[in-house]
Structure 1
Amino acid sequence: MNLFAARNVVYALNCYVAAMLALAIAFAFDLENPYWAALTVYVTSQPLSGVVGAVWGRAFYRLLGTAAALSVAILIIPNLVDMPVLMVSAIGAWVALCTYLSLLDRSPRSYAFMLSGYTTALVGLPVVTDPSRIFDTAVARTEEVAIGVLCAAIVQTLFFPRHAGDLLRAKLRAALSDMQALIASALDQGTDPSHSVAARRKLAVTLSDIHALSDNLRFENATAGDSAVLVRALEQDLVALVPLLSAVGDQLPVLRGAGSLPPAMSMVAGEVRAWVVEDPASGSPRSNALIEACRSAAPTLGPHSSWIDILTANHFVQLESLVIAWDRSLALSDAVLNPGRSPATLPMPRGIVPRRRLHVDHGMAAYTGLAAGLAVLAAGAYAITIGWSQGAVAVGITAAASMVFAVADDPTPAQRLLALLTLVAVPVAAAYQLAVFPLLDGFAMLAFALFPFLMLTGLLLATPQYAMPGFGFALASQTLISLQPSAQGDLVTVVNIGVAVVIGALIALWVTQLIRVVPPPVAVRRILRAGWRDMGRLAVGFRPLRRGAWASLMLDREALLQPRLARSAQEGNPLDADVVSDLRVGIHVIGLRDAAHDAATFERAPLHRLLTELGAHFGALGRGREPADPISLLARIDDSIRSMLDASRCAAHDRAVIASVGLRRNLFPEAPDFRYAEASA
């Protein structure tokens, strides 16, 4: 993207205007360090997600995080100022805790946790030489941040705003189009599997973007809450479609391989495909007719049923569920894309719609928090050992550099770039402090002098390929300027603070290189094993997730895996991971568990035995071990199918058969066809 593209220039101008407005207000109220108000503008605006809702959301959470950070600073610093080792240890522990919490909360709230951690070190530690100032500094800093976030939010809202709702609707249209193509592909005999996998993974990323944008809706207007509910309901249906269309696409080749498809199946599958591709209307008689056609065409199961009969019945059940979910998705998407639609016409409950379940890694979050805390301790120990007066600045920069990039598996490229850019930022800040500021007279001249520096920063931040260098330059240069005791600093102070900033960035980099880098294969295995552990818990009832929550969780893991698989391939270590297959297995485990709950007491034994063996199987995989006896598991699945075919026909028995068949197809795709007459192992 061109650095001087129109959207980039608008963003940079908005940030400049907001920064100057914040600076003028801070000067007018004679605050302790007015430049922090201007710096807050650039931190809050977040150009790559700079929609109005995101800006207001970050403004709210930055205020919340700043208030929490300064409250902790007031508690720690005056009480431990005479025990510097204990004081740095307490701040390191706080940074570790906040890093851990910020990584667990994958919503805009995580910003508050991150700010709470490094602001305590960045703002509180520089006043250790005079701890009596800590309360006044905390109040002033809160005021400066409040001015900065409000100016950023107001300017971004008033001048050429980008709304979360507009971007969300564009993403929804893309998701619906991709889903429509995926369904058509799954029902088409000429499907290219590699194309379907790529399209499915792209859809998983789009759904993650939709979820992130929906979190920002409530910060835009009073009616955004209803829109967020509709979006969450639509997310649920789109997520539920992924395992359904994957199952349909998996079964059709098997049925075709056994011979020509039954006429009823070919006809219904063709009609569903034509409806999905051609009919944009929801709730139409055609969708109702397709649902009825699926139910009528499904064969009745019993001991006489062949393997093809069982697969055919399974196929029609999945196809019926797909039609229902797509029909609801069309209705909900119409309401979101056309806000004037009456909520009373929507096929959804008007109660609380839960948020999507997302993947979190407690172990990695705790380890990352520990690394950030150790980096703070290392910087503090260095400053205490040499008795460095500016060591507090180094500790604050170390905390910030460790926390800002903590979400990455390997933060070192970003931290290395930050360290390099601090070397560029030091002379820039020194030039302003020593050569430019002493010549200025009045706010107008100050604004004029800062224009090229701040505009360049804004343009870099707004351009994707330069965003990371721009962020590093903004963080280093503006922090250097903001930390000056007065507008006319002396050379020794400027150099000392510049050295502190560089050393703080380097310590964060060195500690991360030593203990924190996670290679892509390790990250991939952790995500896959988390899914297997969850499936083991699903089977034995320790994690009673519903289908929608499970599908959401696994699809989120699919989105998280994509960049890691790509990096692993670039490093010459190609990996393959079929998370959607695991997603289908989990859905079948849930179906089997529910069927066991609803079946008669005397019929539950084979289902419970199968669930127990599934729990052991996936528990072993989740611990990185080989399962004990896969052949025994296959025999147990076949026993489950036989026992349910023998039982009198009811809904619970049919669901158990469908779930068991799905498990057999996903876990043992190359196994010989099921035969009712064979003795169980």
Structure 2
Amino acid sequence: MRISADQMVFSVKLFTAAMIAFAIAVHVGLPNPYWALVTCCVCMNPLSGAIRSKVVYRFTGTFCAGIVTLCLVAIFASTPLLLIAAAGVVATISFGFSFLDRSPRSYGFQLFSITLMLVAVAGVDHPETMFDTVVGRVTEISLGILSTTVVDAVIAPRSLTGTLRSSIHRWLSSMENWARDILDGHEADTKGEHDRLRTLADIASLSQLISTLRYDPVVSRSDLRHAVAIQQRLLRMVPLLSAIGSRINSLGEAEHQALRPSLAVARAWLDVGAEPAPGFVDDVRALPIDGGSGAAWQQLVHDTLAGMLRDMLTQWSEVRRLEASLDGKATLDPALKEQLSASRTLPLVPDVDHAGRMAAGIMVTYALLCTFWYLTGWHQGATAVLLSTVALAFFGGSDEPGKAIAMFGRFAVLALTLAGLLSYGLLPLANDFPSFAWAMGMFMIPLGAWAAVNPMATLVLAFGLSNINLQGHYTPFDFGTFLETGLASLFGVFAAFLGAGLFRRWGVQHQLQRFLRKEAIDIARLSRSANPALRDSYIQRALDRIAGMTMRLSATGQVERSAGLLARLRVGANVADLRMVGKALPLAARAATTSVLDQFRAEFDAPQPSSQLLRLIDDALTRLWSARDASGDIPDRAIHALAGLRIALFERAPAWEHTR
């Protein structure tokens, strides 16, 4: 394997920080100096922002766990079983929060739980030394954090600012191509639809990256605000583009030809990134339409398209101005500048059901292993308990936890093998610090270069260095003890493999079904009750779910389902609009829209919508169309919602015909 210059720089930084932290820890007489060294291994990252965010979460989680440990010991010091039970409950709750928080901040909750088990559970037989252990661990972790941060700041720090800007330019290029294809009348094939969703997923990924970017010393607050504002507007464009494309495709060839001049004008506005002229909407609405029974449908589609095109072009104009401001090519007008501070990233919706099932699996596995530990009196039982919870917390939440935990086990075996070579082959040759550094370099530098491109190599480093008796004066474990510790670790990993399936099913396909089921339930709820806040919240959740489903569709070879995901989003938005305006309709019209929503709710989970639902939508359109002139704007909004629902559910159905 060829090692690049970036990999070697990263490895040297990691090794330098680790040796400095270990040397200082030994010099000041800290009880477990290897904790400082291991901290450097897990906190070092090729990007400075990732390092700084991780060290904040690691210190916060460790410090808070130390405080909670001392409180639990003060209460349960005389009853070890209650201490173990209380520590398990608190740690499980924290693990549950780590699954709810989908940002890098979840690492803080994970470290809280791990530290609690490492200190309170492993030291349950010696509560009198718990205070010294907590102080020592917090100090050693802090030393490793300080060393990592300083070394990264001095030796080739790397920022995400270039990645952020290139990502934004990539998003804009993809979104512009998407908009152009729609305005030019090009229908995307299966792969094209999936590529559009990949763009959506790429844009949505900023929400997970933002907590790291905030700690990047080079990325300014202004750049972050611009990036968030751009993300917000691009995500607003997604349902608009999907709706515009569906409406254009619903027109016949003659109607499409009549619409072409307005679409060409919209394309020109898109190319220059300017807002459309004030008369643009009226021009689209005034397009000539054919007479006959289908005239009402054509007019309805034109009216809806006019507003959507205006909204889409307005969002795009703001995006272009934000991009120019981010690149320093222009200044923002006061109105848009004022909106920057109010911009928010796409919320990362917590999966409460998933978090609850994972927490239950961790709790039961913990209880079973602690019971086994108690009944057998195995003095390495605490090691098995710790490794099982670590494996479940870090790898059990994936779509395929069995594969992930099995991979963790294989890397654990590799780590133990290399740790044995280091412990019994290299370190016994060291009799001073230079020779110690040489021995550690033989172990750490190659693995550090690997860790720069494979995060699992970090596991090998951290896990290997945690399983040797690396103190100020090195004395290797008795080989039997080393083997027993390794056996306990692997036993814990095996228990985690079994525990991962206690309360959840495995597989990407199952996750796709869960997402689709949650989407259907959300839309059914909107059919009962809706307001603008619930509608916006639904759209945010739906966009987040679509982003999460996109890569899973690729993994399972089901990219043909991509086209239906945005159609579902349009269904939900139109159902919410119909429910919101339905209450203000005249009695007869309200009854017609209520019948549509009742029928929709009755079959919301059906594979295909029924012809009865189509008939009810058409009847409601006819009734509302007849009443629109006498009742003002409310029927218009309901008509547009019904038309959008009809197109989303019955895209290939014949056009609605108004019958008097």
Equivalent of 2:436 in 432, 439, 446: 446
Match of residue 640 from structure 1: 620
| Residue 266 (str. 1) matches residue 234 (str. 2) | no
Deviations 1:141-185 (A, max 9, x none): 111111222322333333322223322111111111110111111
Match of residue 15 from structure 2: 16
Match of residue 245 from structure 1: 241
* Corresponding letter in the other structure for 2:581: A
| Equivalence map 1:513-528=2 (5 Å) | 513=501, 515-528=503-516
Shift of 1:128: 1.9
Contact 2:422 2:443 in 1 (8 A): no
Deviations 1:567-595 (A, max 9, x none): 3339xx99667221111112223333443
Match of residue 94 from structure 1: 90
Between the aligned partners of 2:153 and 2:502, the Cα distance in structure 1 is 43
| 1:153–1:344 distance in 2 versus 1, CA, 3 Å | farther
* Corresponding letter in the other structure for 2:486: G
Match of residue 51 from structure 2: 55
* Corresponding letter in the other structure for 2:620: S
Deviations 1:45-70 (A, max 9, x none): 3x4xx432222111111111112222
Match of residue 557 from structure 2: 569
| Equivalence map 1:282-361=2 (5 Å) | 282=273, 284=274, 287-289=275-277, 292-299=279-286, 305-338=295-328, 341-342=331-332, 344=334, 346=336, 349-361=339-351
* Corresponding letter in the other structure for 1:382: F
Deviations 1:28-58 (A, max 9, x none): 322111111121122223x4xx432222111
Equivalent of 2:568 in 579, 582, 585: 582
| Residue 35 (str. 1) matches residue 30 (str. 2) | no
State the Cα RMSD in Å.
Answer: 3.1
Deviations 1:364-416 (A, max 9, x none): 21101111222222322222221111211221111111101133122222211
Match of residue 164 from structure 2: 168
Between the aligned partners of 2:255 and 2:80, the Cα distance in structure 1 is 79
| Residue 652 (str. 1) matches residue 634 (str. 2) | yes
* Corresponding letter in the other structure for 1:595: V
Between the aligned partners of 1:113 and 1:675, the Cα distance in structure 2 is 58
* Corresponding letter in the other structure for 1:641: L
Deviations 1:515-559 (A, max 9, x none): 544222211011111111111222322675466543332222112
Between the aligned partners of 1:495 and 1:116, the Cα distance in structure 2 is 28
TM-score normalized with structure 2 length: 0.90
Match of residue 367 from structure 1: 357
| 1:156–1:592 distance in 2 versus 1, CA, 3 Å | farther
| Residue 505 (str. 1) matches residue 504 (str. 2) | no
Between the aligned partners of 1:541 and 1:443, the Cα distance in structure 2 is 70
Between the aligned partners of 1:106 and 1:339, the Cα distance in structure 2 is 35
Match of residue 150 from structure 1: 146
Equivalent of 1:402 in 378, 392, 397: 392
| Equivalence map 1:442-481=2 (5 Å) | 442-463=432-453, 466-468=454-456, 470-481=457-468
Which stretch has the larger CA shift, 307-316 or 234-243?
Answer: 307-316
Equivalent of 2:647 in 665, 674, 680: 665
Shift of 1:345: 6.3
Equivalent of 2:415 in 408, 412, 425: 425
Between the aligned partners of 1:525 and 1:17, the Cα distance in structure 2 is 48
Q: Secondary structure at the residue paired with 2:205?
A: helix
| 1:350–1:576 distance in 2 versus 1, CA, 3 Å | closer
Contact 1:33 1:482 in 2 (8 A): no
Match of residue 554 from structure 1: 542
Q: Secondary structure at the residue paired with 1:647?
A: helix
Which stretch has the larger CA shift, 221-230 or 50-59?
Answer: 221-230
Between the aligned partners of 1:320 and 1:413, the Cα distance in structure 2 is 49
| 1:483–1:101 distance in 2 versus 1, CA, 3 Å | farther
Shift of 1:253: 2.5
| 1:410–1:288 distance in 2 versus 1, CA, 3 Å | same
| 1:170–1:79 distance in 2 versus 1, CA, 3 Å | same
Which stretch has the larger CA shift, 310-319 or 29-38?
Answer: 310-319
Contact 2:18 2:37 in 1 (8 A): yes
* Corresponding letter in the other structure for 2:541: L
Contact 1:208 1:556 in 2 (8 A): yes
Contact 2:39 2:145 in 1 (8 A): yes
| 1:343–1:453 distance in 2 versus 1, CA, 3 Å | farther
Between the aligned partners of 2:418 and 2:218, the Cα distance in structure 1 is 44
| Residue 595 (str. 1) matches residue 581 (str. 2) | yes
Contact 1:418 1:473 in 2 (8 A): no
| 1:569–1:382 distance in 2 versus 1, CA, 3 Å | farther
Shift of 1:248: 1.8
Which stretch has the larger CA shift, 157-166 or 100-109?
Answer: 157-166
| Residue 538 (str. 1) matches residue 522 (str. 2) | no
Match of residue 376 from structure 1: 366
Between the aligned partners of 2:560 and 2:261, the Cα distance in structure 1 is 41
TM-score normalized with structure 1 length: 0.88
Contact 2:48 2:158 in 1 (8 A): yes
| Residue 388 (str. 1) matches residue 384 (str. 2) | no
What's the % identity of the aligned pairs?
A: 26
| 1:299–1:365 distance in 2 versus 1, CA, 3 Å | farther
Shift of 1:657: 1.7
Between the aligned partners of 1:669 and 1:190, the Cα distance in structure 2 is 16
Between the aligned partners of 1:223 and 1:597, the Cα distance in structure 2 is 48
Contact 2:207 2:348 in 1 (8 A): no
Shift of 1:513: 4.8
Q: Secondary structure at the residue paired with 1:559?
A: helix
| 1:650–1:233 distance in 2 versus 1, CA, 3 Å | farther
Between the aligned partners of 2:371 and 2:304, the Cα distance in structure 1 is 64
Between the aligned partners of 2:268 and 2:169, the Cα distance in structure 1 is 19
Shift of 1:661: 0.4
Shift of 1:298: 1.2
Between the aligned partners of 1:222 and 1:607, the Cα distance in structure 2 is 54
| Residue 122 (str. 1) matches residue 118 (str. 2) | yes
* Corresponding letter in the other structure for 2:447: T
Deviations 1:638-660 (A, max 9, x none): 34323432222644332222211
Between the aligned partners of 1:213 and 1:397, the Cα distance in structure 2 is 28
| Equivalence map 1:62-101=2 (5 Å) | 62-77=58-73, 79-80=75-76, 83-101=79-97
Between the aligned partners of 1:411 and 1:196, the Cα distance in structure 2 is 31
Shift of 1:219: 1.7
Between the aligned partners of 1:331 and 1:292, the Cα distance in structure 2 is 22
| 1:597–1:516 distance in 2 versus 1, CA, 3 Å | closer
Which stretch has the larger CA shift, 146-155 or 643-652?
Answer: 643-652
Which stretch has the larger CA shift, 415-424 or 637-646?
Answer: 637-646
Shift of 1:121: 1.2
